[in-house]
Structure 1
Amino acid sequence: MMYINVIFICVGFVLGILSLLMGVLSVDMMISDYFIFFEWELGGINYMEFEFVFWLDWISCLFSSLVMMISFMILLYSIWYMSGDFNIYRFFFLVFMFVVSMLMVILSPNLISIILGWDGLGLVSYCLIIYYMNWSSYVSGIITIMFNRLGDIGILMGIGYMVSFGDWNTSVFWNHFFNDEFFCMLLLMLAGLTKSAQIPFCSWLPIAMAAPTPVSSLVHSSTLVTAGVYLMIRYFEAFNLGVLGVLIYLGGLTMIVSGFVAIWEYDLSKIIALSTLSQLGLMYLVVSLGLIDLAFFHLVIHAFFSAMLFMCSGILIHSMGGLQDIRYMSGLFKNVPEVLLLILVSSFSLSGIPFFMGFYSKDLIIEICMMGDLNYLVLIMLISSVVLTLLYTVRIYIYIIFDFMNFKSLFVYSKDFSVFLVFSSWLMMILVLFFGGYFFEIIFPFMNYVILSDFLSL
């Protein structure tokens, strides 16, 4: 077990250093306005050439930095959470393959490279969901892989469609490829909706919580599910106004439905998964409105506080011997006050409380939408989702802090926290507390002036 801990630490710190380097490169690219393009020719068939392509711009570098930073903290967190597990080597290999697959999706504009990463995400996600090898995980895994295969069909058909253009690289024929091609729009929309679990493909995300908690923190909250949003941001020019109008209402409906379900849910992991689903719907709504930079900003912000929420839930579930029902979690302030502090910080950020991390993106989204020429239905969906988020967050507070209506006599807290858990959790809390404004200054170097009445601002 000592050797695997050393491997976790070494790989984690390598990812952390690479994350810092990619973050600095992203800021430099944004300031100097340039990008880096790598291309390696692997061979060809007739007139079709196969190239391995990397495209580094500020968006891909910042998203890669985000993935590697969260992976670094999750690997340190896993040293504590997965200690004593007999299949720890398999877990480490799957997490490493997930990071590699995610980076291939982020950094490549070539659909051949993207399908390798995209299919790798689906396969590794399935293997991680069935990690515990029980009946519940098997059912969750097969449902997840079936939904994700629908999105893979969209990518594969897109590759077949691109044969007629003589190149796999979308950057070569960007404008021509996306010129009134309704078929291509449907393929990309199918791939994005399935991977990000939007209606009508939203049922797989809550049941994917059968995976270990570090997997949920890394895969099903901050990186995998945002791959669909990232695809929509990258290929935004592919969609006409009609398709974007449909995506607005699909995102809004996902926000409302997931918020209502979270209010009546008692499983802590599923509540956080439903909150992730609601935030993904918000990202889709913002992308469909053409606010690409704002959607990407919320994607980055959400990744941090969502991963932190899953880490906190994992600490509670592990301390309670595997129980996930919030009705058993009363008296948290008396037993594990440090975990309560972590949950409060991440939940405040989720709710958009000033001046936590989530406030910088949510407040700007709401105010810009109020200034825009939107119909009242979209505004009602947006404001309702924010209210629902606040309601199920307050509901969690009530169950884990106060003693009434809880089954407090049926459990005993176990506090066996390690230095790796403390370091990763508190580092994540520092990021959530203080780095929201920093990311705001990076993505929006010129201040967005919002002019609203005092009533609307309140």
Structure 2
Amino acid sequence: MLWMVSMYISSMLFLVLSSVCCVGLSLVCLSSGQAWFIEWELLTVNSSSIVMTLILDWMSFMFLGFVMFISSMVLYYSGEYMSGDANVNRFMYLVLAFVLSMGFLIISPNLISILLGWDGLGLVSYVLVIYYQNEKSANAGMLTALSNRIGDVAILLAIALFFSCGGWNFLFYVDNMPDLSNKELLWGLLVMAGMTKSAQIPFSAWLPAAMAAPTPVSALVHSSTLVTAGVYLLIRFSAALEGSLSQMVLLLLASLTMFMAGLGANFEYDLKKIIALSTLSQLGVMMSILALGYPDLAFFHLLAHALFKALLFMCAGAIIHSVKDYQDIRMMGGLVYHMPLTGMCMSLANLALCGTPFLAGFYSKDVILEVAFMSPINLVAFVLYALATGLTVCYTMRLVYYTLSGDFNLGNLYSVSDNASVMTSPMMMLGVGAVFGGAALSWLIFPCPYMICMSLSFKTLALSVSAVGGLIGYMLNLVVVNYELNCLKVYSGTVFMGSMWFMPYLSTYGVSKNFLGGGEMYQKIGDMGWSEYYGGQGIYSVTTKGAGYLQVLQDNSMKVYMLSFLLWFIILFFMVI
């Protein structure tokens, strides 16, 4: 036990020191404008060099610092949360492997070397999702792995298309791409890779399913690592995507994603899935502003979101851990009286998520919404932005109503408290980040602020829809009697909106029925039918029979000799005649 305690404490200290060093180097790069580019040539193929490349600039250093800081808090938090697990040391190593893969992804500006981190994230995430080794975890892990493999294949095809550029260091080509005939196809593949990793429509089903992993993993995956990998890749490629068809498609799908996730969260009762849908909604915000041509704002929101979303997951984990693994929010209530510190941190994270002024989420979300409203976007995207903003506050207030306020619903035999300091200490550290992180990042990344000119109605639109959404989210559950039964009156609409527009169904049963069913038919008719008859089994049968005839001829049998002599005699007789 002492070894395990020392392991999570030593890992936390190492990652904290690494985080401080990375953030310090990022500030040096920001102030001096320097960046380091390190390259090792491994192989040359047809004048294209296969190299191992590292890019160390302010963006990669800052992102690495945030990933390591959040990972250190998650590892320390796991010391208490996973203390009863028999394989806690295995869990720690998997989390460290996950952080290492994300680090490779962040510092790789080369499409070949980026696969080390890209595939490492996919593999380790699969292992972590199936960690509890039950049927639900196995199904969720398979959905996660297969959905992400689509993006992996897109990256591999993009590597093949990049071959004509003479190299795979994409930072050299994104600003001035040569006139490639397949340029739109290349951008489409890269956008598809980013969409699968960041779970945009139609690849959204795996993200709530990945909640089968332990809660500390969710806090890490859904804040700063796996789901942000696609956003980070497209931020690096953002200069090349300007004006492309892929950019317009990405804007529409990202806007639909944040609206769909916000709508679905208002019908969900699983605590972790509500927060997962919240992550999906914020990923839609990042992708949409990236598609509008503002990669710096997308990166800003990525970092600010990482702080308060990791805090929100940790608070959810503390609640689940205290109420003996219940995740249904209808079984909670009044927790603020029994877990005041967790309730305070959770309220803080929720307020930051809603964009409450002067918390971390406000500095990024408010600028993103104002820039989006000022941009020449179409009416559909504008309406989806406004609705998604209101729905975010709506499901947040609904979550507060069910978990923190009201009556305690767990029964008489309970022991709910904030006694576990190993879990509350990281939450307080991230709480400081959720308060001051947004302001600090805005001062560092944007020393010269954006010039935003808009009318008063547009300026107050974000706060107005947030206030209306919060009022609806709280009052709908507070005032309306039998809210769940009223939803059953429009059962088909409730199922459609609460099931992510049937995407989990389409991603699992729909794919297996329509595509894998056709593959099964082809296997029976082709692989196990005609191709087998004329292929391997047919060749084997002919070869075996021919070998048998040769063996008979080589047995020196008088019958064979007499038969052969008679055959030759008949042939000669007919030739003479």
Q: Contact 1:104/1:117 (CA < 8 Å) preserved in 2?
A: yes
| Distance in 2 separating the partners of 1:68 and 1:178 | 40
Partner of 2:452: 450
Partner of 2:511: none
Partner of 2:335: 332
Matched, 1:386 2:382: no
Partner of 2:189: 187
Q: Please say which of residues 77-86 and 1-10 is displaced more in the overlay.
A: 1-10
Q: Please say which of residues 309-318 and 153-162 is displaced more in the overlay.
A: 153-162
CA 1:327–1:115 in 2, change beyond 3 Å: closer, same or farther? same
Partner of 1:422: 424
| Distance in 1 separating the partners of 2:413 and 2:231 | 40
1:299-378 equivalences in 2 (<5 Å): 299-378=302-381
| Distance in 2 separating the partners of 1:82 and 1:351 | 30
| Distance in 1 separating the partners of 2:294 and 2:255 | 15
CA 1:97–1:177 in 2, change beyond 3 Å: closer, same or farther? farther
| Distance in 2 separating the partners of 1:418 and 1:178 | 60
CA 1:453–1:398 in 2, change beyond 3 Å: closer, same or farther? same
For residue 222 of structure 1, the aligned residue among 221, 224, 237 is 224
Query: What is the deviation of 1:39?
Result: 1.1
CA 1:172–1:456 in 2, change beyond 3 Å: closer, same or farther? closer
Query: What is the deviation of 1:23?
Result: 1.0
| Distance in 1 separating the partners of 2:63 and 2:382 | 29
Matched, 1:30 2:26: no
Q: Contact 2:222/2:310 (CA < 8 Å) preserved in 1?
A: no
| SS of 2:37 mapped into structure 1 | strand
Partner of 2:82: 82
| Distance in 1 separating the partners of 2:410 and 2:421 | 28
| SS of 2:109 mapped into structure 1 | coil
| Distance in 1 separating the partners of 2:285 and 2:166 | 37
| Distance in 2 separating the partners of 1:293 and 1:210 | 33
Larger RCO, structures 1/2 (Cα 8 Å, 6+ apart): 1
Partner of 1:440: 442
Matched, 1:259 2:262: yes
| Distance in 2 separating the partners of 1:261 and 1:371 | 28
CA 1:425–1:448 in 2, change beyond 3 Å: closer, same or farther? same
Deviations 1:99-123 (A, max 9, x none): 1110111101112210111000000
Q: Contact 2:352/2:362 (CA < 8 Å) preserved in 1?
A: yes
Query: What is the deviation of 1:375?
Result: 2.5
Deviations 1:168-222 (A, max 9, x none): 3223444235856011112101110100000000000001000000100001332
Q: Contact 1:196/1:225 (CA < 8 Å) preserved in 2?
A: yes
Q: Contact 1:217/1:306 (CA < 8 Å) preserved in 2?
A: yes
| Distance in 2 separating the partners of 1:164 and 1:290 | 26
Query: What is the deviation of 1:30?
Result: 1.7
| SS of 1:37 mapped into structure 2 | strand
Matched, 1:395 2:398: yes
Partner of 1:151: 151
Partner of 1:236: 238
| % identity of equivalent residues | 44
Partner of 1:57: 57
| Distance in 1 separating the partners of 2:312 and 2:257 | 20
Q: Please say which of residues 340-349 and 7-16 is displaced more in the overlay.
A: 7-16
Q: Please say which of residues 122-131 and 427-436 is displaced more in the overlay.
A: 427-436
TM-score by length of 2: 0.77
1:108-257 equivalences in 2 (<5 Å): 108-174=108-174, 175-176=176-177, 181-239=183-241, 240-257=243-260
Q: Over aligned residues, Cα RMSD in angstroms?
A: 1.7
Query: What is the deviation of 1:410?
Result: 7.1
Matched, 1:10 2:14: no
Partner of 1:105: 105
| Distance in 2 separating the partners of 1:150 and 1:410 | 49
CA 1:50–1:311 in 2, change beyond 3 Å: closer, same or farther? same
Q: Contact 1:178/1:184 (CA < 8 Å) preserved in 2?
A: no
Q: How many residue pairs get matched? A: 457
| Distance in 1 separating the partners of 2:11 and 2:406 | 42
| Distance in 2 separating the partners of 1:182 and 1:455 | 38
| SS of 2:377 mapped into structure 1 | coil
| Distance in 1 separating the partners of 2:172 and 2:364 | 33
| SS of 1:198 mapped into structure 2 | coil
Equivalent position amino acid for 2:177 in 1: H
Query: What is the deviation of 1:82?
Result: 0.8
| Distance in 2 separating the partners of 1:111 and 1:369 | 30
Query: What is the deviation of 1:143?
Result: 0.5
Q: Contact 2:184/2:245 (CA < 8 Å) preserved in 1?
A: no
Q: Please say which of residues 162-171 and 251-260 is displaced more in the overlay.
A: 162-171
Partner of 2:548: none
Query: What is the deviation of 1:160?
Result: 2.2
| Distance in 1 separating the partners of 2:178 and 2:333 | 57
Equivalent position amino acid for 1:64 in 2: L
Flag structure 1 segments of 5+ consecutive residues without an equivalent: none
Q: Contact 1:328/1:411 (CA < 8 Å) preserved in 2?
A: no
Deviations 1:115-149 (A, max 9, x none): 11100000000000000101110010001000000
| Distance in 1 separating the partners of 2:405 and 2:351 | 18
CA 1:258–1:411 in 2, change beyond 3 Å: closer, same or farther? farther
| Distance in 2 separating the partners of 1:163 and 1:449 | 41
Q: Contact 2:184/2:244 (CA < 8 Å) preserved in 1?
A: no
Flag structure 2 segments of 5+ consecutive residues without an equivalent: 461-577
| SS of 2:202 mapped into structure 1 | coil
CA 1:168–1:456 in 2, change beyond 3 Å: closer, same or farther? closer
| Distance in 2 separating the partners of 1:206 and 1:190 | 19
Query: What is the deviation of 1:367?
Result: 1.6
| Distance in 1 separating the partners of 2:46 and 2:376 | 51
